[in-house]
Chains A and B, each alone.
Chain A
Amino acid sequence: MGQVRVTMQAFTQLDGLVAAIDRANVDTDAIIPKQFLKLIQRSGFGPNLFDEWRYLDHGEPGMDNSQRPLNPQFVLNAPRYRGAQILLTRENFGCGSSREHAPWALEDYGFRALIGTSYADIFFNNCFKNGLLPIPLPQAEIDALFAQVFATEGYRLKIDLDSQTVTRPDGEVLRFDIEPFRKHCLLNGLDDIGLTLRHADKIRAFEDGRRAEQPWLFS
C-alpha cells in the first residue's frame, strides 16, 4: 500500500477528557442544524455543533458565535467538559440525515472518539472517513461509564485502537470490536479512494462485462 496517500487524520491512541450526552436517538439534525448545510466547505462547523441545544438564540451561517448567548443547561457548555475529546452517548447516535457535516462538526469541535451503545449506519460510516472513531460497547459498560463520568469531574479514558481497548481510570479494560479494514485505514490515515483505485483494472473489467450484458444501464 506504499503509493496510497495519507490524507485523513490517523487514529492510534488517545487519552482524553470525556463529555457525556445522556439521551438516546441523537439525530444529525440536532448535531448540526440544516441552515449550516448551505455552506460549501467541509471545515469550521465546530462552533455550530448542537447549535439549537447549545445557544439560546437562533444561529445562522456567518454569525460571530463567540458573541452568542450560551444555554447553561446544555451539558457541553459545562466548564468541566471544556476540551473534551471523547463523547459518551446512548443508542442510535447519529440517526436520520446522511449529512457528513455531523462528523465534520464533531471533529472540528475537538472530538476524536465516540463511545456509545450503537450508531446509525450512515453516520457510523461517515465517522471513519474523518478520523473519528465510533466505539460500540455493551449497555452495561455504557451505563457504568455514565455513572463514573457524572461522579468524577475531569474523567478521562484511554483508547488504544491497535489493541481495541478502552481503559478506565480504575484500570478496568473494555474491549471493542472494529472491522479489520476500517481499523487498518484509520490507524494509517489512508485515503480510501487511493486504496480503491489500486483495483482500477478490476473495476474496468467488471464495468465492461456489465455494459455488454445490460447496455441500457449505460445509455
Chain B
Amino acid sequence: MPQTLYAKLWNSHVVHQEEDGTALVYIDRHLVHEVTSPQAFEGLKLAGRKPWRIGSVVATADHNTPTDHWDQGITDPVSRLQVETLDANIAAFGAKVYFPFRDARQGIVHVIGPEQGATLPGMTVVCGDSHTSTHGAFACLAQGIGTSEVEHVLATQCLLQKKSKTMLIRVDGALQTGVSAKDVVLAIIGRIGTAGGTGYAIEFAGSTISGLSMEGRMTLCNMAIEAGARAGMVAVDATTVEYVRGRPFAPIGADWDKAVACWRTLVSDPGARFDQVIEIDAGKLKPQVTWGTSPEMVTTVDGEVPDPTLESNPVKREGMERALAYMDLAPGTSIKAIRLDRVFIGSCTNSRIEDLRAAAQVVAGRKVAPTIRQALVVPGSGLVKAEAEREGLDRTFIDAGFEWREPGCSMCLAMNDDRLEPGERCASTSNRNFEGRQGAGGRTHLVSPQMAAAAAITGYFSDVRDWLR
C-alpha cells in the first residue's frame, strides 16, 4: 500500500506499541536549550537516572542571551543563572556538541541544527521548543515537546505518543516576486486557522514547495505549529541533499552514498492517502500582514482591517473585538495606513542567510524612516552573521540605519532586553503576534523579511512587490 512520508517516518521509529496505539517512538536527535531543560536535568538527577544516549544531544543557549555588548556577559542575574545552569548540566552529562553563549557557532537552536548537518533527513528530532517543526523541512519527524518529555527523552531516548492524522497541503504555481515562503505559510494559517492542524502532521508539497530553497522550506515548516500541527514536513529532493552535503556533521564517503540512497525514499508514495488535503494557488498569493493577536488574523498588504460585526460566530467576533482593542486598530483601516514604531528581522522563522539577503535587497541604498524608533537585524547564528558580513549585508543594514546584532532569539519572544514598550507597534519577521509576546503591551504584525524591510524604510506597511518590479 502506498505510504505517506509521515507514515514512513513513524513506522521506522516505533519501538513498542501499547494496546490503545500509544507508541514508544525512538528519537535520533535531541536539541537542548537553556529555558526548557534545567528542570529535566534536575529530574534525572533526583531520580538517579543517566541519560540514555547523550551523543544525541546538540545544545546551545539562545533564548536568554543578549544580542549586544557581549563583552559584558549576561547582565540579568536570573537569565545568567539559567544559561550557567545549562553550562553546568552539559559539563556534568555531556553532549554530542555544545555551542555556549559567545561561541562562534552559537545561535538559535533551529538554525544551528540544519547549519551543522546535525539535522539529517529521516531523523526524529525533538526539542523543548514548539518551533522544532522547522526541521521537518529535511523530511524529519520533528516535534516540540514539554520539559517532562525532555526528561523522558534524555532518560529513555523515546517519546510516548500516538500516531497523528495526516494533512497534505499542496501549493502549486509560481510565487510573484516579493512573495515568499513566509507569505505562503501565513496565508495557509489564515485559511485553516490556528487549530486547523491540531492532531495532524502536515506535509507541504507541490511545485511551489519544490521550488523553495531549504531556508524557505524551514520557514514554512517552522510555522506548522502556528496552524496547530506539531509537525510539518517536506519530502527529500535534490535541494535537500545538496543543502546537507559537506555540513560538519553530515556523513562522508561511503556512508554519504548510502545515506543519500536511504534519504531518496523519504517521499510520499504516489497514491498515498491523506486524511485531509488542502490546495493553494501560489500564483494568486500576495504579501501577508497580520492585524490581530493570533497568526490566523491575517490579510493581504492591499487589504484592510476586518470588521468584527460581519462575523457571525460570537466567540470569534469577541476574539476579533478584543484583538482590535489590543492592537488599537479600527475596522476598515487600510493595512498600508498602519504606522510602525519598530522593525524586527530575525527569529527561527526568518533569520537565515537567504532571509537577510532578501531584506538587504530591499534596504540597499535606502534609509530607515525617521519615525521608526528602532530597526533590528538579529542573525540566526554566528555563522549566518559571519556569512552576511562576508557578503557586506551588515554594511547595507547599518548604512540604512538598522542595528546589526549578535545572534539569538531576541525580540521574537523578548526574554532578553530586546523588547517592545507598551503600545509600540512592530513589523516582525517572527512567528507569534500574541498579546505581550514581544513585550508587555507591545503590538506585533507578522510579515516576511522583505515586507519588514520595506516597512522600516517607509515607516508604514508597503507592498514590496512594487519595489522589486
Q: How far is the CB of B428 from chain A (nearest CB, A)?
A: 14
Would you call A197 and B148 a contact (CB within 8 A)? no
Q: Kindly state whether residue A79 has any CB partner on chain B within 8 Å.
A: no
> From B409, which residue of chain A is reached at the shortest CB distance?
A34
Would you call B39 and A40 a contact (CB within 8 A)? yes
Query: Could you tell me how many residues of chain B have their Cβ less than 8 Å away from some Cβ of chain A?
Result: 80
Would you call A30 and B195 a contact (CB within 8 A)? no
A interface, how many residues as a size bin?
Answer: 35 or more
Would you call A219 and B162 a contact (CB within 8 A)? no
> From B256, which residue of chain A is reached at the shortest CB distance?
A216
- Of A89-97, A105-113, A149-157, A165-173, which binds chain B? A89-97
Q: How far is the CA of A103 from the CA of B130 in the complex (A)?
A: 15
Would you call B440 and A58 a contact (CB within 8 A)? yes
A-contact 0/1 string along B73-101, CB 8 Å cutoff? 00010110110010000000000000000
Q: Kindly state whether residue A160 has any CB partner on chain B within 8 Å.
A: no
**Which of A41, A90, A210 makes the CB contact (< 8 A) with B315?**
A90
Q: How far is the CB of B261 from chain A (nearest CB, A)?
A: 11
Would you call B413 and A98 a contact (CB within 8 A)? no
Would you call A98 and B158 a contact (CB within 8 A)? no
Would you call A216 and B152 a contact (CB within 8 A)? no
Interface residues of A in 9-56 (CB under 8 A from B): 22-25, 27, 29-30, 33-35, 37-42, 52
Q: How far is the CA of A181 from the CA of B128 in the complex (A)?
A: 23
Would you call B198 and A196 a contact (CB within 8 A)? no
Q: How far is the CA of A181 from the CA of B434 in the complex (A)?
A: 33
Centre residue among A40, A42, A182, A219 by max chain B CB count within 10 A: A40
Q: How far is the CB of B297 from chain A (nearest CB, A)?
A: 10
Q: How far is the CA of A99 from the CA of B147 in the complex (A)?
A: 7
Would you call B152 and A192 a contact (CB within 8 A)? yes
> From B431, which residue of chain A is reached at the shortest CB distance?
A96
Residues of A within 8 A of B148 (CB): 100, 126, 129-130
Would you call B130 and A122 a contact (CB within 8 A)? yes
Would you call A126 and B15 a contact (CB within 8 A)? no
Would you call A199 and B16 a contact (CB within 8 A)? yes
Centre residue among A34, A90, A126 by max chain B CB count within 10 A: A34
The contact sample of 11 A-B pairs, CB cut-off 8 A, is A23-B319, A24-B319, A30-B436, A39-B82, A40-B38, A92-B228, A100-B147, A193-B152, A196-B152, A197-B155, A200-B156
Chain A positions near chain B (C-beta within 8 angstroms) = 7, 22-25, 27, 29-30, 33-35, 37-42, 52, 58, 61-62, 90-92, 95-100, 103, 118, 120-122, 125-126, 129-130, 179-182, 192-193, 196-197, 199-200, 202-203, 206-207, 210, 214-219
Chain B positions near chain A (C-beta within 8 angstroms) = 15-16, 18-22, 24, 26, 28, 35-36, 38-39, 42, 47, 49, 52-53, 55, 63-64, 76, 78-79, 81-82, 85, 120, 122-123, 128-130, 144-149, 151-152, 155-158, 160-162, 194-195, 198-199, 225, 228-230, 249-251, 255-256, 258-259, 262, 294, 315-316, 318-319, 322, 413-415, 432, 434-437, 440
- The 5 closest A-B CB pairs, nearest first, are A216-B251, A129-B148, A100-B146, A126-B146, A40-B38
